[in-house]
Amino acid sequence: MSASPARVRALTARSAILSVLLGSHPAQAPAGWIVRVGAGLGLQESAVRAALTRMVAAGDLERGADATYRLSERLAERQRRQDRAISPDLRAWEGGWILAVVTVGATDSTDRAAFRETLRLARFGELREGVWCRPDNIAADLPEVARQRVDVFTGRPEEPAVALAGRLFAPDRWAHRARELLAALDGAETIGTRFEVAAAVVRHLLDDPVLPPELLPQDWPGAVIRAHYEVFRTEFQAFADGLIAEKPVAPP
Distance CA 115, CA 237 (A): 36
Residues 72-110 pLDDT 10s: 999 999 999 999 999 999 999 999 999 999 999 888 999
Residue 245: the pLDDT is 62
Distance CA 33, CA 105 (A): 46
Distance CA 12, CA 133 (A): 36
Residues 154-203 pLDDT 10s: 999 999 999 999 999 999 999 999 999 999 999 998 999 999 999 999 99
Class at the top of the CATH hierarchy for domain 97-155: alpha beta
Average pLDDT, the chain: 91
Residues 22-78 pLDDT 10s: 998 899 999 999 999 999 999 999 999 999 999 999 999 999 988 899 999 999 999
What is the domain partition of the chain in residue ranges?
97-155, 170-236
| pTM (predicted TM-score) | 0.88
Q: How many CA atoms lie within 13 A of 194 on its CB side?
A: 18
Reported as type and span, the H/E element at residue 152 is strand 150-155
- Using N-to-C axis directions, what is the helix angle for 222-246 and 171-187, rounded to 10°? 30
The answer to whether domain 170-236 has CATH 1.20.58.1460 is: yes
Residue 15 is which amino acid? S
At residue 248 the predicted structure's pLDDT band, cuts being 50, 70 and 90, is: very low
3-state helix, strand, coil in the chain (%, to 5): 55, 10, 35
Rounded to the nearest angstrom, the gap between the alpha carbon of residue 24 and the centroid of all alpha carbons in its chain is 13
Distance CA 246, CA 229 (A): 26
Residue 142: the pLDDT is 87
Say if residue 209 is preceded by a cis peptide, omega within 30 of 0. Answer: no
Residue 141: the pLDDT is 80
